[in-house]
Chain A
Amino acid sequence: MSQDIATIRVTRYRPEKDSKPFVQEYKVPYRRDMVVLDALNYIKSQIDGSLTYRWSCRMGVCGSCGASVDGKPKLTCESFLHEFKGRTITVEPMPNFPVIKDLVVDMEDFMEKLVKIKPWIIREKESPVEEGEYKQSAKELERYSQFSSCINCMLCYAACPIYGLNEKFLGPAATALAYRYIDDSRDQGKDVRFPIVHEMEGAWECTLVGECSVVCPKGVDPMLAIQRTKILGATNAVKSLLMPRGGR
């Protein structure tokens, strides 16, 4: 079977040697079923072992292989090489994040935000195990289920210019995950999460660019979650104003 050759230009940064990033070009033979991550693996094993990047599952589940492919935030394991036939493919680290080395970005800020929104079910009082699980109808599940598909790949942050301009912004994935719990009928942590998602750099910082929802590889719509968070917050504020003692 004949093989095509892909030209890949990878933005590299070796902090122990370089003061600034540079572009390195590689030629990679490929078959139709190969993706950009396969090309990076080929480069690392056959051409240049110093190339550094994250990856794990190779099947769009772990969310660790995100990069800017051809200028767009993508999972490299879901970007087929044949789609760029005849063109040079640029692979850069995800924008809006500090770069540690080559394509590896610093995830610390996102991880802190993820923990901050308390991504677990909060109960006012935990029921004993003997009482069984907290039940939920299919309709109640449907309200938030798409937001629970997030794989924390951070592509939405790479696509969000608001985050690019202000890294304090809670951002798409963290807000979507907060909303996932806020709208979960089993959760009782609204009073804990509301102040977090409605602080100055919370949901209200979003000005509806919408690119977060476009780039999400799992079909999550963070823009929708953020706007729903705003609606809930505004409704709650009006309720507390009209009924200060029982408006919540």
Chain B
Amino acid sequence: MGDTKQYPEIRKRLTPGWWTHNRRYANYMVREWTSLFVALYSLLIIYGLSLWFNGSETDFLNFLKNPAIIGFSIVALFFTMYHAVTWFYLLGAVAPVKIGRSHTKPWQALILNLVLLVIISYVAIWIAILR
């Protein structure tokens, strides 16, 4: 077909700011960006745990008390929550469970997963610190 085209076709390419034109595109991009904070926070925790397992508990605690790390942790917490909420919602959208004649709605998966997140987090904190 390519050789038989008489006139040139034009194609409008996506510009770098394509995601600003639609609220859902913007939400998607924010969700993608927040994964960067999730990854960075994971690296920090891995570094902290490596200090802990090498016997430097004090270094680990001092590392956690560093104002920059506290600041970053607060920012990362908000972004991680946004990431978790959007992914839990998507989980419900892409893997609905059939109950009787109807399928579960995405918001039901979101609530269930958030409740599980709170319970698992509490159990982890209990095992690590409160026990």
Contacts and interface: CB of A to CB of B under 8 A. Distances in A.
Contacts of A16: 7
A208 to B, nearest CB: 6
Contacts of B14: 95-96, 161, 164-165
Interface in B1-48: 1, 6-14, 18-19, 21-22, 24-25, 28, 32
Given A223-B93, A223-B94, A95 B12 contact: yes
Size category of the B interface is 20 to 34
A210 B28 contact: yes
Contact of A164 (B10, B18, B24, B96): B18
Contact of A99 (B11, B22, B28): B11
Contact of B21 (A13, A71, A224): A71
A159 B92 CA distance: 22
A214 B9 contact: no
Contacts of A211: 22, 24-25
A142 B21 CA distance: 36
B54 to A, nearest CB: 35
Given A108-B1, A161-B18, A161-B19, A210 B11 contact: no
A209 B9 contact: no
A207 interface: yes
Interface string A38-74: 0000000000000000000000000000000001000
B10 A20 contact: yes
A18 to B, nearest CB: 9
Interface in B89-113: 90, 93-96
Size category of the A interface is 20 to 34
B32 A207 contact: yes
Most buried by A among B9, B19, B32: B9
A21 B28 CA distance: 30
A147 B57 CA distance: 56
22 contacts: A15-B6, A15-B8, A15-B9, A71-B21, A71-B22, A95-B14, A96-B14, A97-B11, A99-B9, A99-B10, A99-B11, A101-B7, A108-B1, A161-B25, A164-B14, A207-B28, A209-B24, A210-B28, A214-B24, A224-B96, A228-B94, A231-B95
Interface of B: 1, 6-14, 18-19, 21-22, 24-25, 28, 32, 90, 93-96
